[in-house]
Structure 1
Amino acid sequence: MATTELKSGDTDGKIFIGKGDQPAWLTLALGNRHGLVTGATGTGKTVSLQVMAEGFARAGVPVFAADIKGDLSGISEVGEGKDFILQRAKEMALTFQPDQFSTVFWDVFGEQGHPVRATISEMGPLLLARLLDLNDVQEGVLNVAFRVADENGLTLLDMKDLRALLDAIVPMTAKKDEVDPLADVRKSALSFGNVTKATIGTIQRQLLVLENQGADKFFGEPALELKDFLKTDRDGRGMVNILVADKLMSSPRLYATFLLWLLSELFEELPEVGDLPKPKLVFFFDEAHLLFNDAPKALLDKIEQVVRLIRSKGVGVYFVTQNPIDVPDRVLAQLGNRVQHALRAFTPRDQKAVQAAAQTFRANPKLDTVTAITELGKGEALVSFLEGNGTPAMVERIMVRPPTARIGPITPEERKAILAASPVKGKYDTAIDSESAYETLQKRIAGTAATPAEAGDAAGGGGGGFLGQLGAIVGTIFGTNTGRNRLSTGQVIARSVTRSVTNKVVGGIVANVGKQIGGSLGSSIGREIVRGTLGGILKR
């Protein structure tokens, strides 16, 4: 049998995945028909994922993959010709040639990769409700908040924006003659139904829980630009984008919601392209069962819609999980390319899972699929890829080919060097706090000051006695006691003429007050009169 280089094993628009009785190929033109990689822990799912990612990258297809344990990071470094790798390559009549792939690391927390951010507006109420684990009533209030923000031109970028908006739509009982600076916002919210303080309080507490999990680092600017996932390197190979998810997995709901948001953004932003010779992007979703756990029907409908339609955007989605039953049937039906590693059948539930996994393959009369699933060794898999006419091939038992890049994690020093040479270095590393809903609402609240009459009362000790009367007299002379009414023409002329002598007049009055009262107390009261009663005049 002829021997070829493992590096160039992919040929004629196909990715070489492994070999059994015959080679197993994944057709690039059908790579956007999605796929599934399943198997028990330690059976080789990560290696299969790396082999597929390498194949797509070699073909010029950018890849995005979540790295749960850190093992996938090795794709960025040159592979090592270890004995078991060389032996497996020899069994496949391949010559091992080490390789490495251009890699960009991303991290929601900004610790082991470039920060990944989204705005609250981009996340939307449906995904945010899922992230906050809200019930139907609370989700309804969240939808009201987003609608009010749209109607009032309030931009929702980060968590403080959402907090401020939620506070702003709480009904407020205003006292007589009290001005509510956010009355229009509350009125807008009221038009959609009653919003209770109790419901707002619950959502605020859930936001606090999310913030304590580090989600506040995810929401904000600069927000991720999806075009940075769709790049190739100088050799025309697809960039491998790795989401560092070891810490993110401690907040599984945030992890699943983030990846679903990313899929939704790709679906909404990318143009329709139909069937291409190869995908524009391939997306690997590890620990995919987290996406479907306790998901409400509305969310499952959205996931199904995205998976079904994103194919026409040139994006292939590959779910990685332990068992096919982790994925709902209506989503599973969309996944044409399958790789099944070993499952164990020690309990009735395990046996049921094996049966279910076997039924997802097109039967092969030469292979007992149920038995084979329990007998597969490490690195072995059952595979069924779509054929030229779009139908799944019969299931085959193969040995997965070894990756050409390193297997296993990289060192902190190697990661640091990759980040320093990253094509997006500096673009996302520093957060930006733009003016948005929080700042807008704060300005409106601060802009509602006390009336000048109230200010005069405060300066005069509550409006009583000589100082209070003095303030009223001066205010009348210079037209400051007109409340919120516009000044008359006579008042404007009088104020203009007298402004030049204001300081002298006030100075005389203050001096006389000081003499009457005496000492430092008189000087102090004099200064307060100037600052409190006349400050507004002197700044006009």
Structure 2
Amino acid sequence: MSVGKFTEAIQKSYTTHLPAIHLGAGIYQNEIIADAKVYLPMRMMNRHGLVTGATGSGKTRTLQLLAEQLSAAGVPVFMPDMKGDLSGMAKEGVANEKIQERAKALGVEYIPAALPVEIYSLSGKLGAQMRATVTEFGPVLLTKILELNDTQAGVLNILFKYADDKNLPIVDFSDLKKVLNYLTEGPGAAEIKSDYGKISSSTASTILRKIVSLEQQGVDQLFGETSFDVDDLFEKVDGRGVISLLNVADMQSQPAVFSTFMLALLAEIYQRLPEAGDLDKPKLIFFLDEAHLLFKDAPKAFLDQIDQVIRLIRSKGVGIFFCTQLTQDVPPSVLAQLGNRVHHVIRAFTPNDVKALKETIKTFPKSEFYEMEQQFTQLGTGQAFITVLNEKGIPTETVVTHLLPPASYMGPLSEQEYSTLLNNSDFYKKYKDAVDPQSAFELLNERMQQIEAEKEEKQEEKNASSSSRTTSRKQEKSTLEEVMGSPLAKQVGRELVRGVFGMLFGSSAPRRSSRKRSSIF
């Protein structure tokens, strides 16, 4: 197979007349073919995508390359910064010898560029504080981070249903604990029994312990007001889309938390955006790095929610790209919806690795230019197998691609540069201070105080009524005693006694003649 035929095939497959991302150039027989340019049409980026590869294969720089060109085209980007090393996108790259060599091989000029960047944080320590209310987070996602079983998840659903029915905003964990206590041991226990079902104290105690455990880990910082407004992700500066970085370097020990939070953002974006149909450029591209953390030990309800969001958010003009080490990290139902794929090198060191490699190769369009299994394990850093959807929605030729170098700085900002970026950010100031609104905690406290006051009032009325009856009885008794103590009453009493005893003993008592009795007197 000639180089000319390879170049012709790639040019035909990747030709586009629409705005597109220039990913790099094809490699054939270990040679970079600069004319075999590889593009990803922006119109197809809302068909979602997958970026995979072993550690150190260049996945992060691929995401950086995608984000840069999207931003330059006016498309906002959201992406997690797992190690804190993407903040350098806010300043120009450095044109060293290796970068110049790569650019020359690809037939392009390297032009360093800085990008508009906003940095967010779930702890509030590394960027603008991202928060959500517990109500916005919802029971399904909360079940995931609390690691609840089906029974406990059912109780959590009862709490949310009750709060919705009674207009009780659950803003933070204090509200959630208050509702749980109110419906388990408080006045609400009897109230919900018929409509919602009884909550066992053992289940409530387990949920409470898990909430307290997250609080001790500092996760409660995520929940509260002011909650994050997803409209802030669609900002542009000088016509360029803002790159919103979520720095989770300080939350590496809670991977389920930050991955689930990102899904919560996606769900809210879907709820807020109107239908858009097919656009020449997406409204937003959402990267989910370390995607395997999102699906690990996920309950079915959680996976169903992911599947629904992925299926439907495309029509809102939003594209989602998953980034992970292996294709198998993503459930088949989600993989089936991903149209664009960038696969870096796979290390086949174990039998399981070999099996995973073969399964991955089967999912690619067959190529007459490569021995796929051999080529996959020989990719260098910054090289990847690529297949995307062309502007007509048809999968392109599978091609080994030498990727372009990012134009921005490949590394973290210095501590001073980082602080300057945050201090100049309007969003950092907007979300810095927490607000404590009236919510379920205060409302239920008022309700319990009112119930207690009503009980005390009823008790006082009962005591007053009892005291009145006692006084009346004492007065009646005093009057009777006065009457019974009078001489007349005593005489009547004696006559009555004599009469009664006379009746009882009259038959046996000796009769006395009236005459004799008269003589006596």
TM-score, with length taken from structure 2:
0.82
- 1:203 partnered with 2:194: no
Q: Distance in 1 between matches of 2:240 and 2:444?
A: 48
| 1:106 aligned to which of 109, 120, 123 | 120
Q: Which residue of 2 aligns with 1:43?
A: 57
Q: Give me the whole-angstrom Cα distance separating, in 2, the residues matched to 1:455 and 1:189.
A: 29
> Which of 215, 218, 225 matches 1:221?
225
- Which residue does 1:306 correspond to in 2? 309
For 1:126, the equivalent position in structure 2 comes to 140
Of 317, 321, 327, the residue aligned with 2:320 is: 317
Distance 1:189 1:157, change over 3 A: farther
Structure 2: segments with no counterpart, 5+ residues: 1-15, 27-32, 472-521
State the shift of 1:445 in Å.
2.1
8 Å contact kept, 2:129–2:428: no
* C-alpha distance in 1 between matches for 2:403 and 2:103: 10
Tell me how far apart the structure 2 counterparts of residues 163 and 189 of structure 1 sit (CA, whole Å). Answer: 19
Task: Specify whether residues 393 and 189 from structure 1 end up closer, same or farther in structure 2 by C-alpha distance, changes over 3 A only.
Answer: farther
* Matching residue of 1:348: 351
Instruction: After TM superposition, list the pairs within 5 Å mapping 1:159-174 onto structure 2.
Output: 159-171=173-185
Q: Does 1:262 align with 2:265?
A: yes
Query: What secondary structure does 2:118 align onto?
Result: strand
**Which of 288, 294, 309 is residue 291 of structure 2 equivalent to?**
288
- Give the equivalent residue in structure 2 for 1:394: 397
1:371 maps onto 2:374 in alignment:
yes
C-alpha contact (below 8 Å) 1:171/1:186 kept by paired residues = no
**Per-residue deviation, 1:74:** 1.2
In 2, Cα distance between equivalents of 1:68 and 1:103: 16
Shift in Å at residue 171 of structure 1?
A: 4.8
Tell me, yes or no, if structure 1 residue 417 matches structure 2 residue 420. yes
Deviations 1:80-126 (A, max 9, x none): 11111111011111111110100000000001100000001111111
Pairwise CA distance, 1:12: 4.6
Residue aligning to 1:383 = 386
**Aligned residues of 2:131 and 2:222 also touching (Cα < 8 A):** yes
CA distance in structure 1 between the partners assigned to 2:206 and 2:458 by the alignment: 41
* 1:502 corresponding residue in structure 2: none
Structure 2 distance, partners of 1:368, 1:189, is 66
- Corresponding residue for 1:407? 410
In structure 1, C-alpha distance between the alignment counterparts of 2:66 and 2:420, rounded to whole Å:
25
Distance 2:94 2:294 in 1: 35
Of the candidates 77, 101, 104, which is equivalent to residue 87 of structure 1? Answer: 101
Contact 1:361-1:394 at 8 Å conserved across structures: no
Q: Establish whether residue 247 from structure 1 lines up as the match of residue 261 from structure 2.
A: no
Q: For residues 169-215 of structure 1, give each alpha carbon's deviation from its aligned partner in whole angstroms, at most 9, with x where no partner exists.
A: 0156xxxxxxxxx35x7413542222111111010001011112222
Does 2:195 align with 1:191? yes
For residue 357 of structure 1, report the CA deviation from its aligned partner.
Answer: 1.9
Aligned mates of 2:157, 2:256 — CA distance in 1: 20
Larger radius of gyration: 2
- 1:53 and 2:58 equivalent? no
Closer/same/farther in 2, CA of residues 212 and 11 from structure 1, 3 Å limit: farther
The answer as to whether partners of 1:171 and 1:196 remain within 8 angstroms in 2 is: no
Deviations 1:121-142 (A, max 9, x none): 1111111111111111111111
Q: Hey, what's the Cα distance between the residues in 2 that align with 1:436 and 1:452? A: 27
**Aligned-partner SS, 1:424:** helix
Opposite residue 224 of structure 1, the aligned amino acid is F
Please name the residue that 2:365 is paired with.
362
* Partner-residue secondary structure (3-state), 2:322: strand
Q: Which runs of 4+ in 1 moved over 4 A?
A: 452-457
**Are the counterparts in 2 of residues 33 and 335 from structure 1 also a CA contact under 8 Å?**
yes
The CA deviation at 1:11 is: 8.5
Tell me the distance in 2 between the aligned counterparts of 1:188 and 1:453. 24
Contact persistence 2:18–2:43 (CA under 8 A): no
Q: How many residues align structurally? A: 442
Contact 2:45–2:282 under 8 Å retained in 1: yes
> SS at 1:398's partner residue?
strand
Give 1:414-493 correspondences, 5 Å limit: 414-447=417-450, 448-449=452-453, 451=456
Q: Secondary structure at the match of 1:367?
A: coil
| Residue identity opposite 2:436 in structure 1 | D
Q: 1:65 to 1:264 in 2, by over 3 A?
A: same
The answer as to whether partners of 1:264 and 1:306 remain within 8 angstroms in 2 is yes
Alpha-carbon distance in structure 2 between the residues aligned to 1:345 and 1:362: 21
Q: Contact 1:66–1:245 at 8 Å: present in 2 too?
A: yes
- Tell me the CA shift for residue 301 of structure 1: 1.5
Once residues 232 and 425 of structure 1 are traced to their aligned partners in structure 2, the CA distance between those partners, rounded to angstroms, is 17
Displacement after TM superposition at 1:456 (Å): 12
Choose the corresponding residue for 2:156, options 131, 139, 142.
142
1:153 aligns with 167
Contact residue 285 and residue 317 of structure 1 kept, 8 A: yes
Change (3 A) 1:444 1:453: closer
Distance 1:456 1:191 in 2: 32
Rounded to whole Å, the distance in 2 between the matches of 1:39 and 1:453 is 71
Q: Deviations over 1:326-346 (max 9, x none)?
A: 111110111111111011112
Q: Shift of the alpha carbon at 1:253? A: 1.2
2:20 equivalent to 1:17: no
SS of alignment partner, residue 264 of structure 1: helix
Amino acid at match of 1:258: F
Task: Measure the CA separation in 2 of the matches of 1:186 and 1:322.
Answer: 51
Aligned counterparts of 1:289 and 1:394: Cα–Cα separation in 2 = 27
User: What do residues 203-242 of structure 1 show as CA deviations (whole Å, max 9, x unaligned)?
Assistant: 0001011112222100000011111001110x20000000
The secondary structure found in structure 2 opposite 1:365 is coil
Task: Please report how far the alpha carbon of residue 363 of structure 1 lies from its aligned counterpart in structure 2 after TM superposition.
Answer: 1.3
Paired letter, 1:68? M
- Tell me the distance in 2 between the aligned counterparts of 1:453 and 1:355: 77
1:397-453, CA deviations, whole angstroms, 9 ceiling, x for partnerless residues? 111100000001111211111112224242111000001000111122233236369
CA distance in 1, matches of 2:391, 2:458: 84
C-alpha distance 17-212 of structure 1, shift in aligned 2 (>3 A): same
Provide the identity percentage. Answer: 42
Q: Which amino acid aligns with 1:296?
A: P
